[in-house]
Structures are given as structure tokens and as C-alpha cells.
Chain A
Amino acid sequence: MTAFFEYVARNVVRRLGSFVGLALAPCRSAGKRCRIGLPRRGASAGPTKLVESASVTWAEAPRYVVGLALALLVVSSARAAKIGDLESLDFGEQFARFFTLQDEIVRLALLGSVFLGVSCGLLGSFIVVRKLSLFGDTLSHAVLPGVAIGYLVSGYKDPVAIFVGATLAGLLGTVLVQLIKKTTHIKEDSSLGMVLAGFYGLGVVLMNRIQAMPTGTQSGLDKFLFGQVAALSSVEVWMMGGVALASILLVTVFYRQFLLGSFDVGFARGLGLPTGLFHYLLMLLLAFTVVVSLQAVGAVLVSAMLVIPAASAYLLTDRMHRMLIIASVFGVLSGSLGAFLSFFGNSLPTGPLMVLASSFVFCLCFFLSPRHGLFSRWRKRKTRDHRILNENTLKAIYHVREERGFVGEGVGLSQLAERMGETAEEAKRRVRELVSAGLCDIQESGAKSEALLNPDGWLRACAVIRNHRLWELYLTNQAAYEPDHVHDDAEVIEHVLGEDTVRRLERLLDYPSQDPHGKLIPSLADLQRSLVKTPSPEPPSGYRMPGS
């Protein structure tokens, strides 16, 4: 008998696993296919690859998680524990209970969190990119009277009745927002707020009435406000599973329609796609997701589970299909973490804990995301500032040498300080920076110390000067600027001109050798020729004369 069950379970798991894998496959192959044959710059490859490889492995993750959870549920559902058994346990036992998955409650709760995370991640991604976050908030509050009415009609906490009631209430709220927007001058944010508050108030009054009724105290409806994952029944979990499955299926099958409808509705209609239909399909899925998540997260905070994992994923990737996958993974992670924490503190509501877990994930992404994170932005800016500072020092050294007609190699630090308008200490510090960047040497001769650019440093200095003067020339010749107005602009642009632009500028200006102030422009061709070790009539200084 047991063997039979195990066989069935294994088969189910394999089927489901391959199915989920199938569902995710197009996303992956789409990503791969694009990668072929398109040149990519070496510089930007690093962080992108990191995300790509990560998302591919993540894409596999849900398949295993779902499979594992299902297997455990089917195989060992015989050994179940009652609700309430979980109360009054110490930390270690609680821990063990959670991770050995012996209890049906734990299994149900975990499975529920997984389903919740998947559907919230998928729908939430669309909510975030469509800028409907606050709409999600309204919807989650608006379902409350429906929950109460569902309870009243069925007479007990019937998941199906509550599902139907809540969905209807949510859709009614949605329609009301649209109607208010269409028929009055009231702005959308106010109409969202009104539906949120009005429906929520109505829901609270109805729930107060239910609790005042003789059977009401055991109604368990208060769990719908902040959620209690331990109170999930198996029917509710299967409903969550159904919604998660439907979300995965529909989003995979109609991915293109959802994508285009979210990105550019006008164009989608121009293609003749039934955009209205897909919009309402998405809204319906969203309503289903909110409704089945109520018991686990609570009406007040469902919107957070929609928005936060999706926003975290939005910080990590630039492609919609990856965002969907990453958001689901984050949803599953924070959902399970919230459920886990809620088991520790016996009476703690689950919703807030799940939200805090996902906020934690968001914080990590916000600071550490390789491309859009605060930290990497800060580091990028820091290195850029550093480079600009170094280039300015190089420029100053060039200027000093230029003033004396490129005679002699070393540049005295006191002269340099004078040229830069800084103190001697500051000049020395800046030169040390150059030394550490491998562009320059310091030669101490007695009390006087001199900065000696090495060939790399010299090339860089010439390149910066060339950028500056080329740009000045471009502005005066092509954009008809006055020669005395171009310096400040060139000061900025000299650090960012790329080689291609420089080539184009040179071609455009017919390979000039003098800037508008009559000074020499070291040409790109010269600079590059000097990189190749060709014997040239160099002056004995060891440096090439620029432009010679």
C-alpha cells in the first residue's frame, strides 16, 4: 500500500516538475536565443552575466520546491497533527517541527506560502511595471465585505463561499473606481482611496455584526485582517495552488499579450489584439490572488506581498520574463520565512512577518543590486570622481611641461601646486594618487621632489588634453560658440569622450593640430602610433613630442 502511494507520488512529482519546467522553458530559451550572434561589449558583460546565470538556476528552483513540497504532502499525509499542538513548545522543538515537516499544519502552511509567493510574484510584477501598486492596495481592502458576506451566506467559514464573495466584492470595487473616474472630475488617487476606505469600513461593520452573533466568536474571520498561516485548511491551500497554477499557465501562454498590453497599450490595439480582454483577465487573476492570499497574509497587507517582491526583482533585472521568475522566487522565500517566523512566536500574525521578510529582501536588492543598487551606483560614482581627479592632475602636469616647451621630464611639485591653485601638500597627495594608479613616479632630489610621468601616464595626459581641445574646437567651428565660452563645457566633456567620438570629431574637423587658442592638439593617430613600439626620431627625453 505504502509502496503504491510512493509510486504515485513520485510520478505526480515528476509530471508536475517537468510541466513547470516546460512552462518556464520558453522564457529561458528566449533569453538564450537573443544572446547568440549579437556582439556585446566586454565592459558590461560582467554584471549582466552574473544575473543571467543566476536567473537560469533560479528558474529551476520553483520546480524542485513545488515538487518537494507536493511529495512530502502526498507521501506522509497519514501522520498528521492537530492545530493547537503547536502551542507551548520550546524553541528547539519548534525549530525541529518546522524543518522536519512532520506536522500537517506546517506542511500546509509552507505549501500555502509557496503558492502565495508564486502567484503574488507573477501578478505583482505586472502591477509594478504598470504602476498599479496602489490599485492592488485598494483591491485588497475592498474584498473585506465580500469575505463577511460569503461567511453569512454559507453560515460558516466556507472557503468557496468566501472566495466567491470576496472576488465579487473586489471586482465591484474595481468597477466603482472606474465609474467614479469616468463620471466625475475626481482624480484617480482619491477614487482609489474612497473605495478602499468605504469598502473596508463596510467590511468592519459586517464583521462586528458576525462577531456579535452567537456563533460569531469562533468565526475566525479576524484572521482575515492580518493573516494566520497556521489556520489554513487543506481546501484553502488547494485553492491557492489552483490560483498559482492558473497564474503560471495563463502568464506563460499569454506572456506576449500581457507584456505588450503593459508596455504599450496603443500599439497592442493597433495590432488588433483584444487588449481589454487581457487587461480584465489580468485583473481577474489579481483578484483571485488577493482573495486566496487573505487567510495567509491578511487583507491589510496583501498589497505588500504583491509589490515588494516584484519591486525587488525590478531592481535586479532588465527583462520582464526574468523579473517574473525572480519575483516569484522572492515571494516564495519571504512567504516561507514569514510562515517560519510566525511558528516561532505562537500568536504572531503571519502577514506582517511575511511583509517584513520581503522588505528585508528588498533592502538587500536596493543596496546591493549589481546594476541598480545604491551601493554599486555609489561605487561607480566614486571611481568616476577619482578618475576625473587623476585626469585633472595629469592635465596640470602636461600644462606645466607645455609652458616650458616640453623641455625636461620632471615637474616640480611646487610648480604643479601653483598651476593647480592648490597647496603643496594637496599637490603631493594628488601625485601620490597617480603613483598608486601606476601613471607616474616621484623622484626625490634633495629638498625638491619632482613628478615624472611614465609612458602610460603621458599617453593619458595627452588623451585628456586632446579631448579638451578637440571639443573646444568643435564648439567654436561647428556650433559657432565664442572661443572664450568653450572652456567650461570642455572641462566636463573631456572625461567622457569615447574613442569613437574622438575619431568622428577628428574627421569632422579635418585632423586639426591647433585648438581655438592656438595650442597644440595631440592627435589620436599619433598617440596610437606611439603605443606600437616603432623606432621614431624621439628627443632624448624618452617622451614623444605630441603632434610632431
Chain B
Amino acid sequence: MEFWKQLIPPFDFQQVFVEPWTEYLDSFLWIFAMGFLVTAACGFLGTFIVWRRMALVGDAISHSVLPGIVIAFLVSQSRDTLPMFLGALGAGVLTTVLIELIHQKSRIKTDAALGIVFTTLFAFGVVLVSLYGENVDLDVDCVLYGELEHVIFETPVAFLGLFEAPNSVLRMGAVTLAVMVLVAVFYRPLLLSSFDPGLARSMGVSPAVIHHALMALLAVVVVSAFEAVGAVLVIAMLIFPATTASLLSDRLPVILGLTLLIALLSAFLGLHLALWLDASTAASISVVIFGMFLAAWASRCVTRVAREGFRR
């Protein structure tokens, strides 16, 4: 019994829900902002990823950017944004190219090609981290579940003279905004090419261009979210908001709006869960969205059964 008490610490409402918003507001706000931005950007983009059945490609890319990031660190000897982006983008492009190569030049199917390429690149990245971990200021834990709460250790930088915020939060904000703007601007071609590639091509929209643009955007989002949530948990942020929303509505604009709402709610609840259990923030957010999905699923099943019972 003692054991279980240690496992689940006592729940203190004051400590878990009130104090962060009062006493530690300064730092907590940024953690919350980061959590929300990551989940929102991933969820928003994830709607299209899920719809186009690229969910596991997203997982593959989130794994395989690791060696790109580490090599960029080792080459540039800094944690600057640009080299990291370039390294990760390079690794992302390499992943898609290798998958295509293996699939086309041999009789191995796409799923196995995916499984081969991303695990290999990821393994390579992990070995690099284990060998040069001290030099690049990255450790295996960070790779596995991210260190979202580390944003408070960054020195805040001024944003347009309006307010000061940690660098990574600003960067994630810019990425999130970019994702939303791009999706809004290219909404119609995106919709068309996801739903009916043949029609899209006949109307002058190249599905290949859209596909690669989406992959590039995915790589950018994954890289900016990497430090916060690590390589493995990105997929939770990518898929869960979209699938949960699609259980609740079947209209795309509503689904897109719902993903933002789900992102907000899961970031909020996830952060407090992490505070309560003293666990990894990213993992807690994943658990919360998982729970939200299960709830949406259960409610849908219940209403369906109820409706049918009524009909009879």
C-alpha cells in the first residue's frame, strides 16, 4: 500500500492548480505557451497528415531528424536555430529519398522500407548522442521524451519591443502561425489534392508538389518541436487532435478549429498532470490527449448504440 502511495502522490489542488497561475506565473506561462503551441501546430498540420494516411511517415520523420540535428550541432558547435533546421531538414529529405529508393529499386514494400530507414537513422542518431552527448548538450532522455520545461532556463529575448519571451517559444509561435497561414492560403489545393489527386492534377494543382511541401512543413514542425517533446512523442501531438476531432465532427473547417481547442485543453491538463505526478511534461500531454481520444471514442460508441436502441 505504501508502495502505491509513493507511486501516486497526494493531490494538492492548491499546489497543482493554483500556485502555477499565481506565484510561478512568469515561468509557468511560457511552459504553457510552449506546450500549447507545439500541440496546436502539430495538431493543425496533423489533420492533413492523418487524412492523407501519412501518419506513420510523420512518425518516421520525427525519428530520423535526430542524426541531422546531432550532426548540425557537432559541425556548428552551437545550438543556433539555422544549422539545426538545416540538419534536420536534410535528414528529413534523406528519409523520404531513401524510402522511395528502397521501395522503387527493390521489391521491398513501402511499410518495410519505412521501418528500415527511420530505425536505422534513429539508431545512428542515438549512437552519436551517446558518443558525443556532452559536446552537443543533448542526452538520450531528451531524445526520448523531450524537455519542455527547459524553456524557463532560456534567457528571454524581446519580441518587437512589446514583451520578452524565451527564444524557443517565439520560434514555435512563428512556426505555428506559419502553419496556420499556409494552410489557410493553400486550403483549396490542399483539400483537392488530398481528396482527389486525379482531379487536382487536371485542374493544374500538382499533387507531388503539395505532397513535398507538406513533408517539408512537417519536417519544420517536427524539428521545432523536437527539443520540447522528443522524437517519439511528436506523433501523439500529430495524430490525436486530428482523430479526436474527426470523431466529433465530419466537416473539415470544424475539425481544424477543434484541433486547436483540443490542443489548448490537453496542454492545460497535461501540464497540471505533469506537475502533480512530477513526470515528463510531453508524456503527460500525450497521456491526456490519449484520454481525450478514448473519451470521444467511448461517447461516440455510446451515442451510436443508444441511437440504434432507440430506432428499434
Chain A residues close to B by CB (< 8 Å)? 128, 131-134, 136-137, 141, 152, 155, 180, 183-187, 189-194, 196-198, 200-202, 204-205, 208-210, 212-214, 225-226, 300-301, 303-304, 307-308, 311, 314-315, 345, 347-349, 351-353, 355-356, 359, 362, 366, 372-374, 377
- Given A131-B112, A315-B108, A348-B131, A204 and B144 touching (CB < 8 A)? yes
Cβ 8 A contact of B123, one of A152, A184, A189, A359: A359
Q: Is the interface of A mostly helix, strand, loop or mixed?
A: helix
Contact B107 A205, beta carbon cutoff 8 Å? no
Q: How far is the CB of B106 from chain A (nearest CB, A)?
A: 6
Stretch at the interface among B49-57, B74-82, B196-204, B256-264: B49-57
Closest to B127 in A: A352
Q: Is the interface of B mostly helix, strand, loop or mixed?
A: helix
Interface: B14 (CB within 8 A): no
The 8 closest A-B pairs by CB, nearest first: A201-B286, A304-B119, A198-B290, A197-B236, A352-B123, A204-B283, A208-B279, A355-B123
How distant is the Cα of A210 from the Cα of B55 in the complex, in angstroms? 31
How distant is the Cα of A194 from the Cα of B233 in the complex, in angstroms? 10
Cβ 8 A contact of B115, one of A196, A214, A304, A351: A304
Contact B232 A198, beta carbon cutoff 8 Å? no
Contact B279 A205, beta carbon cutoff 8 Å? yes
Stretch at the interface among B18-26, B148-156, B163-171, B238-246: B238-246
Interface: B122 (CB within 8 A): yes
Contact B283 A205, beta carbon cutoff 8 Å? yes
Q: How far is the CB of A339 from chain B (nearest CB, A)?
A: 14
Interface: B188 (CB within 8 A): no
Contact B112 A311, beta carbon cutoff 8 Å? yes
How distant is the Cα of A527 from the Cα of B285 in the complex, in angstroms? 79
Which residues of B72-112 are within 8 A (CB) of A?
102, 105-109, 111-112
- Note all chain B residues with C-beta closer than 8 A to A200: 232-233, 236, 283, 286
- Note all chain B residues with C-beta closer than 8 A to A202: 283, 286-287, 290
How distant is the Cα of A217 from the Cα of B265 in the complex, in angstroms? 33
Contact B122 A205, beta carbon cutoff 8 Å? no
Q: How far is the CB of A408 from chain B (nearest CB, A)?
A: 49
Interface: B70 (CB within 8 A): no
Q: How far is the CB of A380 from chain B (nearest CB, A)?
A: 13
- Note all chain B residues with C-beta closer than 8 A to A362: 116, 120
- Note all chain A residues with C-beta closer than 8 A to B278: 208-209, 212
Contact A180 B297, beta carbon cutoff 8 Å? yes
Contact B236 A347, beta carbon cutoff 8 Å? no
30 A-B interface contacts by CB (under 8 A): A131-B112, A133-B114, A134-B114, A137-B115, A180-B297, A183-B297, A183-B301, A187-B55, A190-B53, A190-B242, A190-B243, A193-B55, A194-B240, A194-B290, A196-B59, A197-B286, A200-B233, A201-B233, A201-B283, A202-B287, A204-B144, A204-B145, A204-B279, A209-B279, A301-B122, A311-B116, A349-B140, A353-B127, A356-B124, A356-B127
Contact A152 B7, beta carbon cutoff 8 Å? yes
Cβ 8 A contact of B280, one of A208, A300, A366: A208
- Note all chain B residues with C-beta closer than 8 A to A353: 123, 127
List 20 additional contacts besides A189-B56, A201-B236, A351-B126; criterion CB under 8 Å.
A128-B109, A134-B114, A136-B115, A186-B243, A187-B53, A198-B240, A200-B233, A201-B286, A208-B278, A209-B8, A209-B279, A212-B278, A212-B279, A300-B144, A304-B119, A307-B119, A311-B112, A348-B127, A352-B127, A372-B106
Cβ 8 A contact of B112, one of A133, A186, A351: A133
Closest to A210 in B: B7
Q: How far is the CB of A43 from chain B (nearest CB, A)?
A: 21
What size tier do the contact residues of chain B reach?
Answer: 35 or more
How distant is the Cα of A155 from the Cα of B4 in the complex, in angstroms? 10
Which residues of B288-306 are within 8 A (CB) of A?
289-290, 293, 297, 300-301
Chain B residues close to A by CB (< 8 Å)? 3, 6-8, 50, 53-56, 58-59, 102, 105-109, 111-112, 114-116, 119-120, 122-124, 126-127, 130-131, 140, 144-145, 232-233, 235-236, 238-240, 242-243, 246-247, 273, 277-280, 282-287, 289-290, 293, 297, 300-301
